[in-house]
Amino acid sequence: MDVGTAPKKVKIATATLGGCFGCHMSLLDIDERLLELVQLVEFDRSPITDIKHCGPCDIGLIEGALCNAENVHVLREFRANCKFLVAVGACAINGGLPAQRNRFDVGDILQKVYSDTPDGRSRVPNDPELPLLLDKVYPIHDVVRIDYFIPGCPPSGDALWKFLNDLIGGRTPRLDYPQFHFD
Amino acid sequence: MASIASSLDPILAGYGHDPTALLQILRDAQEVFDWISPEVRAAIAGTLGVPTARIDSLTQFYAHLYDTPRGRYRILFSDNITDRMAGSVALMDHMLTRLKLERGKLSADGVVSVDFTSCTGMCDQGPALLVNNRPVTRLTPRRIDEICDLIRALTPLDEWPADFFMVQDHIRRADMLLGAAYRRGDATRAAVARGAQAMLDEMKRSNLRGRGGAGFTTAVKWETCRDAPGEERFIICNADEGEPGTFKDRVLLQSFSERVFEGMAIAALVTGARRGFLYLRGEYSYLRAPLEAKLAEMRRENLLGEKICGAEGFDFDIAIHLGAGAYVCGEETALIESLEGKPGKPRIRPPFPATHGYLGFPTVVNNVETLCKATEVALIGGASYAGQGTKQSTGTKILSVSGDCERPGLYEYPFGVSIAQVLEDCGAQNPGAVQVGGAAGNCLTPAEFGRRIAFEDQPTAGALMVFGSQRDMIEAARNFARFFAHESCGFCTPCRVGTSLVADMVDKIAAGRGALYETMDLQRLHDILRRSSHCGLGQTAMLALGDMMQKFRPAFERRLTSRDFEPGFDLDAALARARELAGRDDAAAHLGADI
């Protein structure tokens, strides 16, 4: 292909907040279609590239819920840089598994977790390097505007593939029933 | 415990140990024990042979059944928008301060709790509250003080001044129904003289349509029930008047109940039913004793019972069932579920109750007002009846008028009356909006006051709430949104989740944190709720809000943030607990606003 006439590649950034990387694994699960995908897109910040901060992008894919202050910073960086921001998977959309802690007081949780010390006294770490936990786990649309939501735990590779193809092709993304039918 | 058993036994025996009477049993048990404790629950479950989970399903569904102690005095402030406009929030705060209480929390001595409940149907004499299901109307700070004193002195409710519990009729304009001379039994005798088939023919000629809101032709319902196969048939009077702003059925049952019962008997004559139920909303339980007395009188005069008016084979009697605080039970299939002693979750229709209703038998469910109108048809004949009103909406309609007007109360007009006429008659000085049909109805602006009350134009079950032009419509929007989120029965996801999302979003907009995004999202939710909810509750839950957002757009828009999006909560405050535990206060321990 002549480099001069190659269409401009779409820039994608991806990140996992409070999630299990399962949604990212699903992205890898599109298998050999990855080769087709890299013809169309270029990855900015993502576990795939290990770039630490994202620049201006077309599409941002966010996996996972908001559990701590750092999650909020990452999410804000994505919102500031991405034309379309997409909530991928159950945790990003609803809080998912991490949100199971929401019925407990976060202070009680911290004390319980850090009470296993030799003298039995609770020592919650205070290193500024460590992001502080939010009182509750929040879905990402509680904190920034989200343009699209892809349901699933995780969404299937096919669903992600279909979604990205639609979005890049200029069509309103549409997932039909078989694409989020899991049993 | 012996005391539990000895108090429960007469209640259970009174209902013949019938599990379909479970809701009634729980209501009566709560009257005695103040709440359904695990011990009471176990005793009822053991005696009736039902699982305790069945009892939990009721105590958790019905707002006025309690599975935690709520005190000897359970105060519930009516939370309709008309109560709020009359100052209910300040009055509740006053009471909470006087009693040193938090809303929804039991007092330390276990004597009293204070909370909100959905509209109690006292909108023309609000603000109102219920104390152990008994209404106190026209509240003032002074009345609140008096109530607090009585509670502190532990005065039994029966010894409270009787005028506290006075409920007025406020009939402002009477027509065919409210104004007619009435002699008990004339309508039933006229129907008997006509004969069942001829009575049905008169009903068809009258073109009487249901007054509960949907406007289904009554004669068709009766005929379907009569012709449906079934060993038994039932007549149910739907007196679960839960629509905020509606109170006509309360007045009809308070002062015109014989007509309601006669209407039920006439329906029984036509359909061949032998048993009937009056499903009375729990908020109106103060009407139960007078209604039972009326039923007893009518039995003595052979207007109920066996061989009514001497007609061979015309046997019919009526039992009163009470609800326990669930708006959705106004939906006829939910009401039937509730009558059967279950949580009031709407059934799938069809089949309709006319063929598969109470216990699966053909059942007629009619509104209180509809049954009253049936007595008119019996007396004057269908053709004469059809002469009033409009072509598709015959007869008169009773409107419950409340809100910003000088003379709130009942107004009976022939169908076809304009909103402007009603507003003039009720003394609405400067109306800025009228909510027609309750929270599930339409919101009209002055430009639409020429519209007419009729099935051809603006149908309604009868509620008209007037908002003066000084009112902020977003308060009404919030009130209605919270109402539906509270009353959703939880059976279907679009309504259970949707109504809560809507309520949160309207609150967010009201708090000045909403963006254009939320208004668009509300529109999207409107479509989802309307199209995919299981029953009318979800389908109509956003009708008024949709109207308000369209017609009172500035009330919403001036609160919108110009930003792209704003979180609905304080992010930095969400870190406070972790900051405290880690003992940190450095820059990284805070979350500023998004730039």
Q: Mind telling me how many Å the CA of A157 is from chain B's nearest CA?
A: 27
Residues B578, A125: C-beta atoms closer than 8 Å? no
Residue showing tokens 């506290």: B164
Helix H or strand E encompassing B358: none
Q: Helices B257-271 and B196-206 meet at what angle, rounded to 10?
A: 120
Radius of gyration of chain A (CA): 19
Pairing of strands B73-78, B112-117: parallel
Interface of B with A in 58-117 (CB under 8 A): none
- Is B575 in the A-facing interface, judged by CB distances under 8 Å? yes
* pLDDT band with cut points at 50, 70 and 90 for residue A86: very high
Mutation pick from A66, A110, A143, A146 vs chain B, by most beta carbons of B within 10 Å, is A143
Tally of CA atoms within 13 A in the half-sphere of B31 that contains its CB: 17
Q: Grade residue A180 by pLDDT with cuts at 50, 70 and 90.
A: confident
**Distance between CA B20 and CA B48 in Å, rounded?**
10
Residue type, B120: T
Cβ contact A145–B515 (<8 Å): yes
Residue from the list B517, B567, B586 with its beta carbon closest to the beta carbon of A142? B567
Neighboring chain A residues of B515 at a CB cutoff of 8 Å: 145
Contacts B588 to A, Cβ<8 Å? 69, 128, 131
Long-range contacts, A118-125 (Cβ 8 Å, 24+): A124/B581, A124/B582, A124/B583, A125/B582
The partner residue sitting opposite B583, judged by closest CB among A76, A126, A143, is A126
Hey, are the CB atoms on B577 and A72 less than 8 Å from each other? no
- Tell me which residue range forms the domain holding A153: 9-99+137-178
How many structural domains comprise chain A?
Answer: 1
Q: Residues A89-111: what's their mean pLDDT?
A: 95
**Does the distance separating the beta carbons of A110 and B588 come in below 8 Å?**
no
pTM (2 d.p.): 0.91
pLDDT the model gives residue A6:
64
The shortest C-alpha distance from B521 to chain A (Å) reads 11
Contact of A87 with chain B, judged by CB distance below 8 Å, is answered with: no
* pLDDT at position B1: 46
Chain B residues near residue A126 by CB distance under 8 angstroms: 582-584
For residue B296, with 0-12 CB atoms within 10 Å meaning exposed, 13-18 middle and 19 or more buried, which class applies? Answer: exposed
Q: Is residue A65 part of a domain?
A: yes
Fold of B396-470: Ubiquitin-like (UB roll) (3.10.20)
Return the CATH superfamily for domain B73-168. Answer: Glutaredoxin (3.40.30.10)
Q: Is the dihedral of CA B120, B123, B128, B134 positive or negative?
A: negative
Distance separating alpha carbons of residues B36 and B27, to the nearest angstrom: 9
- The answer, for A56 touching chain B at a CB cutoff of 8 Å, is no
Q: Strands A66-68 and A133-138: what pairing?
A: antiparallel
Residues of chain B neighbouring A110 (CB-CB closer than 8 A): 578, 581-582
Distance from A105 to chain B by nearest Cα, in Å?
9
Segment A138-159, tens digit of pLDDT: 999 999 999 999 999 999 999 9
pLDDT digits 0-9 by tens, B317-359: 999 999 999 999 999 999 999 999 999 999 999 999 999 999 9
Which of B493, B504, B581 is best to mutate for the A interface (most A CBs within 10 A)?
A: B581
Is residue B315 within 8 A of residue B155, CB to CB? The reply is no
Dihedrals phi, psi of A28, to nearest 5 degrees: -65, -25
Which residue in B has a C-alpha nearest to residue A144's C-alpha? B565
What residue spans define the domains of chain B?
A: 2-61, 73-168, 173-385, 396-470, 474-557
Sign of CA dihedral B358, B13, B295, B188: positive
pLDDT tens-place string over residues B104-147: 999 999 999 999 999 999 999 989 999 999 999 999 999 999 99
Residue A81 falls inside a structural domain: yes
Specify the CATH number of the domain B474-557: 1.20.1440.230
Q: Model confidence at A116, in pLDDT bands (50, 70, 90)? A: confident
Residues B85/B124, Cβ–Cβ less than 8 Å:
no
- The CATH number that applies at residue A69 is 3.40.50.700
Test B582 with A132 for CB contact under 8 angstroms: yes
Domain membership of residue A112 (yes or no) is no
Of A77, A84, A63, A66, the closest CA to residue A10 belongs to A84
CB pair distance less than 8 Å for B591 and A69: yes
Contact of B477 with B514, CB cutoff 8 Å? no
Please tell me which of the candidates A125, A128, A142 has its beta carbon nearest to residue B588: A128
What are B131's strand-pairing partners? B75, B134
CATH number attached to the domain at B173-385 = 3.40.50.11540
Q: How far is A25 from chain B (nearest CA, A)?
A: 30
Q: What is the DSSP string of B481-500?
A: HHHHHHH--SSSHHHHHHHH
User: Which one of A69, A76, A132 has the shortest CB-CB distance to B594?
Assistant: A76
In a domain, residue A106? The reply is no
CB atoms within 10 A of CB B510: 18
Give phi and psi for B316, each to the nearest 5: -160, 135
Q: Is B46 on the interface with A (CB under 8 A)?
A: no
pLDDT grade for A1, boundaries at 50, 70 and 90:
very low
Phi, psi angles (nearest 5°) of residue B198? -65, -35
| A111: closest chain B residue by CA | B581
Nearest chain B CA: its distance from A43 CA (Å): 25
A-B Cβ pairs (cutoff 8 Å, strict): 63
Q: How far apart are the C-alpha atoms of B172 and B155, rounded to whole Å? A: 36
Q: Are A132 and B578 within 8 A, CB to CB?
A: yes
Do β-strands B396-403 and B409-414 pair in parallel, antiparallel, or remain unpaired?
Answer: antiparallel
CA dihedral angle for residue B78, residue B81, residue B87, residue B90, rounded to 10 degrees: 70
Residues of chain B with pLDDT under 50: 1
Q: How close are the terminal C-alpha atoms of chain B, in Å?
A: 65
Shortest CA distance from A143: residue in chain B: B567
Residue B47 and residue B50: Cα distance in Å, rounded? 8
Chain center to CA of A22: 10
